[in-house]
Amino acid sequence: MMNSTSTDRLQQGFSVRGRVQGVGFRWWTQRTGSELGLVGAVWNRPDGAVEVHVIGPAPAVEAFATELSQGPQGAQVDGLERFASDRSLPSRFVIE
């Protein structure tokens, strides 16, 4: 029997651009990721973007990417960049 892809874990980094600082984006990201069963870290970057690194089941990471592209009420996501992540991540979702 073949393994289901739903058990495959994926680690992914994201850079979110737009009106994403000062609007509760990091707290929303932490809550959304945790609700999807992901662990990771989110922080503001000096260039005005928010950076996120997560790991979890591939379908959950894909759902998270969809949520990130929309953002919370009050935010405006103008761009979402995905990239490979090899960052060491905590055992829960944290705001750095």
Just list the catalytic residues: 26, 44
What percentage of the chain's residues is helix, strand, coil (to nearest 5)? 30, 40, 35
- Residue 9's alpha-carbon distances to 25, 38, 49, 61, in angstroms, are 25, 10, 26, 9
